[in-house]
Chains A and B, each alone.
Chain A
Amino acid sequence: MEAIIQIRDVTKTFIGRDNQVEALKGINLDIERGNICGIIGMSGAGKSTLVRCLNFLEKPTSGTVLIEGQDLQAMNGAQLRKARTEIAMIFQHFNLLMQRNVQDNICFPLEIVGMKRREAKKRAAELLKIVGLSEKAKAYPAQLSGGQKQRVAIARALANNPKILLCDEATSALDPTTTKSILALLKEINIQYGITIVIITHEMSVVQEICNQVAIIDEGNLVESGSVEEVFSRPRTKAAQKLVFQGERSTMEMRGKRCIRIVFSENSSFEPVIGNMVLACKTPVNILLADTKDIGGIAHGQMVLQLPEDTVTAEKMIQYLKDRNLTVEELTDYVE
């Protein structure tokens, strides 16, 4: 089946007074219907610009964006506004109308499509139930916590039964516990209503938590994309490694000594490999970094080990690990 979102050679150049910034340098990406796709990158990588190209809040300088096969570029103003009612968006700072109460905030997108007041109120009540805020219908945004505000924003985004939900750093202003509950809500919405979700974030944990597809953006380029499992367990590019192994910095001082990185995949993570290796070689190793993650129920992870001075033992250890189908990588010439 055709992907619900097709991004084709999208570039975006911002022209300033005396400089121009290439925010996007030719992005190609397909997002399948029903996916939760994470677009991750360092700040300034261009991910926010990319997500705004998906509803044409930013017009790409060149290239096309197809939503359900419809070219946004070819649309006139009214058609684009119509299309936008099916592509909802939530934001880092929630962007609620501060002078309207919760119920009226949710009614706003319904007013845009011309729904009758009475019906809109009914729909708002339904939506508040979905996001678990029924008792706050008459409250004003200023009286709500960040998590509650984002729930209202989600209810508002769902009002017109969108096919796609764009999330621009939607959890970045929230604490970890609230983030978890908002992500759980998004996942629920994805399953319940089959809404395709695109999540822009700079946090790996967000992608791990709910995405099944990931795209990594670095300096305006899409450097890696695929299933979360694939990209996270074997990041190929520098940018991807930097994001995936965010704890890497601590190994920087160890350069010059012999360090290796082992990458775990599903076939070996339940075996106490390092313990067995130490027992087999009768020499201890220094674990410099250990980071394992649970991705979609399968454990993945990486470790950085400092090997003993003795080359024979070190080689033996590397062989031992390789025999167990682990990816072993020497870190001596690893420079960020």
Chain B
Amino acid sequence: MWNSETILMLVENTGITLYMTLTSTIMAYLIGLPMGIALVVTAKDGLRPIGIIYKLLDVIVNVVRSVPFLILLILIIPLTRLIAGKSYGATATIVPLTFAAAPFIARLVESSLLEVDKGVIEAAQSMGASLWTIICKVLLAEARTSLIVGATIALGTILGYSAMAGVVGGGGLGDIAIRYGYYRYESDIMWVTVILLVLLVQILQVIGTRLSRKLDKRSR
């Protein structure tokens, strides 16, 4: 069974997994990053405290995060169909992955931005900086290493979620592991997919750590 066809299939599905993970991470950041910023800015001691918006975002994030991914995946199938045109396959899986990851990312972003020294924000205010300038040039710029560490965590988590999507025919390495390992008892293929998943997480982690270290100017 270790013919070129199997190997080709593994390579192809590694690519699919990466495609799902990276695309959903980017999409999730498009939603999660503004949400995280909004959480920080509208909080009680934030730059523009708006209680209603903060509470609303806080509740949305908590609700979505408390639904297990596998259930969310099934729960939003109608929405997935609406957006992607079908409910199975790699591209369709990006929809639930994005929805599940966005609130998680919002929290990661929120905690990164909260680490920024309040004094530096105050200094920027004292110089007459606008809210937008403070968000871009102080909050995001000063928190960049922490944001990258957060993104690395997010990638790892989304990679794990994408494998779970294999249960409902999501494509990628998780799909292979379930089809061959679980349904056909070909456990060696399952092991290979597991090893590939571990390697992927490892590689992403190393890249993330290196990048954040390189960009951090706080150490001597």
Q: Which residues of A contact B (CB under 8 A)?
A: 55, 57, 80-85, 87-89, 91, 93, 95-101, 108-109, 111-113, 140, 142-143, 153, 156, 160, 166
Contacts and interface: CB of A to CB of B under 8 A. Distances in A.
Majority-rule SS of B interface residues: helix
Given A91-B122, A98-B142, A100-B141, A108 B127 contact: yes
A232 B8 CA distance: 87
Contacts of B219: 142
A109 B137 CA distance: 11
A182 to B, nearest CB: 17
A80 B127 CA distance: 10
Given A100-B141, A111-B137, A84 B128 contact: yes
Contacts of B145: 99
Identify the 6 closest CB pairs spanning chains A and B, nearest first: A84-B128, A95-B123, A81-B128, A89-B126, A95-B119, A85-B128
B218 A142 contact: yes
Given A97-B138, A98-B217, A108 B126 contact: no
A56 B124 CA distance: 13
B119 A93 contact: yes
Contact of A99 (B122, B125, B144): B144
B133 interface: yes
Interface in B38-87: none
**Of residues A80, A89, A99, A113, which shows the largest number of chain B Cβ atoms within 10 Å of its Cβ?**
A99
Given A99-B144, A111-B137, A57 B126 contact: yes
Contacts of B196: none
B117 interface: yes
A99 B141 contact: yes
Interface of B: 117, 119-120, 122-130, 133, 137-138, 141-142, 144-145, 215-220
B120 A96 contact: yes
Nearest to B144: A99
B142 A97 contact: yes
Nearest to B129: A112
Contacts of B117: 93, 95, 98
Nearest to B142: A99
Nearest to B130: A81
A176 to B, nearest CB: 23
A143 B141 CA distance: 19
A57 B123 CA distance: 10
B92 to A, nearest CB: 39
14 contacts: A55-B126, A81-B129, A83-B128, A84-B125, A89-B123, A89-B127, A95-B122, A96-B123, A97-B137, A97-B141, A98-B120, A99-B141, A99-B217, A142-B217
Given A55-B126, A85-B128, A142-B220, A108 B120 contact: no
B49 to A, nearest CB: 13
A191 to B, nearest CB: 24
Nearest to B123: A95
A98 B218 contact: yes
Contacts of A81: 128-130
Nearest to A162: B127
A140 B127 contact: no
Contacts of A101: 217
A181 to B, nearest CB: 22
B90 to A, nearest CB: 37
B217 A140 contact: yes
